[in-house]
Amino acid sequence: MDLLNTLVEKGLRRELPTRDEALAVLATSDDDLLDVVAAAGKVRRQWFGRRVKLNYLVNLKSGLCPEDCSYCSQRLGSKAEILKYTWLKPEEASEAAAAGVAGGAKRVCLVASGRGPTDRDVDRVSKTIEAIKEQNEGVEVCACLGLLSDGQAERLRDAGADAYNHNLNTSEGTYGDITTTHTYADRVDTVTKAHAAGLSACSGLIAGMGESDEDLVDVVFALRELDPDSVPVNFLIPFEGTPLAKEWHLTPQRCLRILAMTRFVCPDVEVRLAGGREVHLRSMQPLALHLANSIFLGDYLTSEGQAGKADLEMIADAGFEVEGSDTTTLPEHRATGGGCGSVCGDGGGGCSDGATAEQAEPAAEVPAARTDLVAVRRRGAGTDIAPNA
């Protein structure tokens, strides 16, 4: 397929595809799916080999968020029966993080519900970062605390944080349909603040919220322009008790196309297979490792994930290897601060080079909702039960 050959060549040169090319990936047929995975896999291996980076989530403060993000089980008015607790003490968070590190995690992601941290919250998280780093030599720490005020990113950096996560989640055009208590511009501003403070920026998306192909391409192109080092690709977990509880539109094939499109647009970036992979990819998860070079180990913030042991077995069985702490994740040109360089292109607004989607077959019927695969987290941080790692 000429389209895939073009995309591989561009990916190996770190060159931005056109919007038409990105849309064409999402429009490919199931008959072409393995070709799409194989092509994107060439780009993934060029920049990341067969390494898989493991990340581990610690939910520092769960539930009772004043924001109204429709996808979130911790949102204002959520009736999802999730764990609710206030801030973990630094030693409690450090203990939870140690379980993930023992399971092979290279990065610990500290997350707290809420609009954004107060200065007192930043002090609290700073102590937690210090406790984790003291107990786990060489571990990376990423903070995810919501919208940042001036100076807070610098304080987190000074406390030892390596990265800051704040996802764009969806396109600017549809953002107001998902969240009304803050804006898309607010999210962009926080990613920019983290970047400017010298933190490694981590920002991604959530697919499966009823968005169009154009919305998906818009948000991934916007992420490319922001130039984060990590792009988590989440697939909506439709929690009962949230506005998007009935949004069961994803298939494993659709998820793989979304991951492939993200890899082609962000060829040399850490693409992370994030929340919802077990729910929507199911038995196709190993194929996704040919597209993403990073996953979360074990459980998520408010839902249970695949057993940590099963994650490790999946990686080994698929012929990949867990990335060690002595290995730099990003390619040299990014690790040394070069970003995507002069080959980024013009943001995707230019003309197409003629590659178009092959005629796609009619979409397959979406399977019935698999609500049995959505399990609320009842173990780990905030409980007396051992974590899954």
Backbone angles phi, psi at 204, to 5 degrees: -145, -150
Of 19, 44, 107, 109, which residue is the catalytic one?
109
Whether 340 is catalytic is no
Whether 344 is catalytic is no
Q: Which two tokens stand for residue 375?
A: 């399990």
Asked if 8 and 39 touch (Cβ cutoff 8 Å), the reply is yes
Backbone angles phi, psi at 130, to 5 degrees: -60, -40
Of 14, 19, 44, 72, which residue is the catalytic one?
72
Of 157, 272, 277, 334, which residue is the catalytic one?
272
Whether 69 is catalytic is yes
Distance between CA atoms of residues 85 and 24, nearest Å: 45
Query: What are the residues whose beta carbons fall under 8 Å from the beta carbon of 365, sequence distance 6 or more?
Result: none
Of 144, 202, 266, 340, which residue is the catalytic one?
202
Chain centre distance of CA 243: 21
Asked if 58 and 141 touch (Cβ cutoff 8 Å), the reply is no
Instruction: Assign 3-class secondary structure to 114-183.
Output: CCCCCHHHHHHHHHHHHHHHHHCCCCEEEEECCCCCCCHHHHHHHHCCCEEECCCECCCCCHHHHCCCCC
Of 19, 107, 124, 142, which residue is the catalytic one?
142
Of 65, 255, 266, 340, which residue is the catalytic one?
65
Amino acid, res. 140: E
Provide the H-helix boundaries in the chain: 2-12, 19-26, 33-48, 90-102, 119-135, 152-159, 175-178, 184-196, 213-226, 252-265, 277-280, 285-288, 308-317, 332-335
Backbone angles phi, psi at 111, to 5 degrees: -120, 140
Whether 272 is catalytic is yes
Instruction: List the beta bridge partners of residue 322.
Output: 52
Of 69, 255, 266, 340, which residue is the catalytic one?
69
Catalytic residues: 65, 69, 72, 109, 142, 202, 272
